[in-house]
Amino acid sequence: MKATILYGPRDVRIEDRPDPTIVAPTDAIIRLSASCICGSDLWPYRGANVVKEPAPMGHEYCGIVEEVGSAVRSVRKGQFVIGSFFASDNTCPHCAHGYQTSCQQKTPVVGAQAPLLRVPLADGTLVATQDVPSPDMIPSMLAISDVLGTGWFAADAANVKAGATVVVVGDGAVGLLAVLSAKCMGAERIIAMSRHESRQRLAREYGATDIVTERGDEGAARIKELTNDVGADSVLECVGTQESMWQAIRAARPGGYVSYVGVPHGVQLDGAKLFYTHAHLHGGPAPVRRYLPKLIDLVERGEIDPGKVFDLTLPLEQVAEGYRAMDERRAIKTLLTT
The minimum distance between CB 279 and its own copies, in angstroms, equals 7
Judged by CB under 8 A, which of 254, 293, 294, 297 binds its own copies? 254
Distance (Å, whole) CA 96 – CA 73: 19
Judged by CB under 8 A, which of 230, 300, 311, 318 binds its own copies? 230
Edge to edge, the sheet with strand 2-8 lists: 11-16, 2-8, 55-56
Q: Is 151 in contact with 208 (CB distance < 8 Å)?
A: no
**If DSSP codes are grouped into helix, strand and coil, which group holds residue 68?**
strand
Judged by CB under 8 A, which of 16, 131, 136, 270 binds its own copies? 270
Tell me the sheet residues that pair with 67.
29
Nearest to 59 by CA among 88, 35, 90: 35
Where does residue 276 rank: exposed (0-12), middle (13-18), buried (19+ CB within 10 A)?
A: exposed
Residue 279 engages its own copies in binding (rule: CB under 8 A): yes
The minimum distance between CB 227 and its own copies, in angstroms, equals 9
Residue closer to its own copies, measured from CB, 78 or 254: 254
Nearest to 336 by CA among 75, 148, 111: 111
The letter for the amino acid at 260 is Y
The minimum distance between CB 230 and its own copies, in angstroms, equals 5
Judged by CB under 8 A, which of 9, 44, 98, 207 binds its own copies? 98
Contact window for its own copies (CB under 8 A) among 116-124, 128-136, 184-192, 253-261: 253-261
Judged by CB under 8 A, which of 16, 275, 302, 303 binds its own copies? 275
Q: Is 34 in contact with 18 (CB distance < 8 Å)?
A: no
Judged by CB under 8 A, which of 7, 225, 269, 329 binds its own copies? 269
The minimum distance between CB 120 and its own copies, in angstroms, equals 19
The letter for the amino acid at 242 is Q
Size of the site for its own copies (CB under 8 A): 40
Residue closer to its own copies, measured from CB, 104 or 213: 104
Residue 260 engages its own copies in binding (rule: CB under 8 A): yes
Contact window for its own copies (CB under 8 A) among 60-68, 75-83, 116-124, 261-269: 261-269
Residue closer to its own copies, measured from CB, 278 or 330: 278
* Beta carbons within 10 angstroms of residue 290's beta carbon: 22
- For 204, residues 6+ apart whose C-beta sits below 8 A from its C-beta are 192, 211
Judged by CB under 8 A, which of 61, 80, 86, 99 binds its own copies? 99
Judged by CB under 8 A, which of 93, 108, 186, 216 binds its own copies? 93
Distance (Å, whole) CA 252 – CA 98: 25
Angle at 35 between CA 295 and CA 123, to 5 degrees: 55
**Residues 156-185 contacting its own copies, CB under 8 A:** none
Distance (Å, whole) CA 35 – CA 83: 12
Distance (Å, whole) CA 196 – CA 179: 15
Judged by CB under 8 A, which of 189, 253, 289, 308 binds its own copies? 253
Residue closer to its own copies, measured from CB, 163 or 255: 255
Residue 135 engages its own copies in binding (rule: CB under 8 A): no
CA dihedral in degrees (27, 285, 334, 2; nearest 10)? Answer: -30
Residues that bind its own copies (CB under 8 A): 93-94, 97-99, 101-102, 104, 228-230, 240, 242, 245, 253-255, 260, 263-272, 274-285
